[in-house]
Amino acid sequence: MPAFTPPQELKIAVIGLGYVGLPLAAALGQAMDTVGFDVNSRRIEQLRTGEDKTGEVDSAELGRAKNLTFSADEKALEGCNVFIVAVPTPVDESHRPNLAPLISASRTVGRAIQAGGVVIYESTVYPGATEEDCIPVVEEISGLKFNKDFFAGYSPERINPGDKTRPLSKIVKVTSGSTPEVADFVDEIYNRIIDAGTFKASSIRVAEASKIIENTQRDVNIALINELSIVFSHLGIDTNEVLDAAATKWNFIRLSPGLVGGHCIGVDPYYLLHKASAAGFIPDIIRTAREINDGMARNAAHRLIKKMANHGLSITGAKVLVAGFTFKENCPDTRNTKVIDLVDHLREWGMEIEIVDTWANASEVHEEYGIAIGSEMPEKGDYDAVIVAVAHEEVVRGGAESLRGLLKKNGVLLDMKAAFDVAESDLRL
């Protein structure tokens, strides 16, 4: 196998400028020549003005990236010798991995990469996807031979959208390469921008697996808490009070019940399920955890309906305010939000649903989900129920009393996030 020779001068292309790619491009652009590439020309135009609609990178940080340029034109990738792919890896309606964005990005790399180039994947995938699904595409398009003419690495993204206390530089980065020399090269690149340091995995497959189990472990743990929440609801016990008591033990893992959406925890386990099934084994715990978490929207709807009936409220035609639509608080990301499932279940019972989210982009929500949402909390109302679906600062800062002011007599306040004390709400998960 020919020895890998690191490029003398780095020119890096980051392909995909979403929640993961943009912070990475901004960090790299402070240290070395970097091209931020995205097929969405509107996104590129916006970033050129110094604005990031995701809220992950502010204008000052973009301004410090003096070596960063943005483009939606593949010609801008000419001369790049390191390509970092950070595109989404969603699932389809049947929960099967949808590698279309990843394959498309690999084709883009194939058209631009030259001999001696390195492609590094950051997108979350099942073990083997980089070398079995992506690299063959790069080979086919480029006409180059893997590990002879070009090389590869994998460094899983670990960004937590909306988390300002753990930016990219403060999260340890797992790295890997297709040869030991490439692994060292990839590790050195990330060490330039990661203050928390790096961890060099023994292979690309190990690095891929490490990422997929991070979110799978969390999904399984949350599923246990969600199942306990269902159990305790039948026993007439508040789950969060139980968790508060249990968490006084030093080794108890404190998690909260709720909807599990987003582009990571609610998606990644399906990639591992897919690969495990293809290998001849169906992992029961992972599969069951997904079923439990995917079912929490329906369970929450049923609990609300039962409480409303107990309050003497009519279900059909009931006016319900759903506060929050994104998949997590203080973040504009609505990808794979499970609030839409909750809304659909309530509408099945003939309820009139009004949705407000102070962070989400209303036009994007309408385009993706076909529903209209408001952007400001109402100052007054006569709702049969108010649901705290996402604990945005603007939703909870007025306290439970403010939300109760929006209810009619005997109206129900469902606090799905346990944002308030148990005595201040009518129902918590």
Q: What is the mean pLDDT of residues 78-82?
A: 96
Q: What is the mean pLDDT of residues 266-293?
A: 95
Give the model confidence (pLDDT) of 136-194 as tens digits. 999 999 999 999 999 999 999 998 877 788 999 999 999 999 999 999 999 999 999 99
Query: How far apart are alpha carbons 410 and 406 in whole angstroms?
Result: 11
pLDDT value of residue 162? 78
pLDDT value of residue 160? 83
CA distances (Å), origin 369, targets 333, 334, 337 = 13, 10, 10
Q: What is the full DSSP assignment across 258-314?
A: S---TTTTTTHHHHHHHHHHHTT---HHHHHHHHHHHTHHHHHHHHHHHHHHHTT--
pLDDT value of residue 264? 87
Q: What is the mean pLDDT of residues 302-306?
A: 97
Binned at pLDDT 50, 70 and 90, residue 85 comes out as very high
Binned at pLDDT 50, 70 and 90, residue 225 comes out as very high
Give the model confidence (pLDDT) of 318-329 as tens digits. 999 999 999 999
Interacting residues of 263 by C-beta distance below 8 A, sequence separation 6+: 19, 88, 90, 327, 333, 335, 336
If one counts every other C-beta atom within 10 angstroms of the C-beta of residue 182, the result is 21
Query: How far apart are alpha carbons 423 and 86 in whole angstroms?
Result: 45
Q: What is the mean pLDDT of residues 247-274?
A: 93
pLDDT value of residue 1? 56
pLDDT value of residue 81? 96
Interacting residues of 6 by C-beta distance below 8 A, sequence separation 6+: 181, 185
If one counts every other C-beta atom within 10 angstroms of the C-beta of residue 252, the result is 11
Judged against a pLDDT cut of 90, whether residue 415 lies above it is answered with yes
What's the pTM value of the predicted model, to 2 decimals? 0.93
Catalytic residue among 80, 134, 264, 331: 264
pLDDT value of residue 75? 96
Cβ(57)–Cβ(28) below 8 Å: no
Average pLDDT, the chain: 95
CB burial of residue 340 (10 Å; 0-12, 13-18, 19+)? buried
Judged against a pLDDT cut of 60, whether residue 22 lies above it is answered with yes
Query: Rounded to an integer, what is the distance from CA 320 to the centroid of its chain?
Result: 27
Cβ(389)–Cβ(323) below 8 Å: yes
Q: Express as a percent the part of the chain with pLDDT over 90.
A: 90
Q: What letter does residue 200 receive in the DSSP assignment?
A: E
The one-letter amino acid at 326:
T
pLDDT value of residue 4? 87
Query: How far apart are alpha carbons 336 and 262 in whole angstroms?
Result: 5
pLDDT value of residue 8? 85
Binned at pLDDT 50, 70 and 90, residue 89 comes out as very high
pLDDT value of residue 209? 97
55 against 268, higher pLDDT: 268
Q: What is the mean pLDDT of residues 250-269?
A: 92
pLDDT value of residue 2? 65
pLDDT value of residue 95? 92
Judged against a pLDDT cut of 80, whether residue 31 lies above it is answered with yes
331 a catalytic residue: no
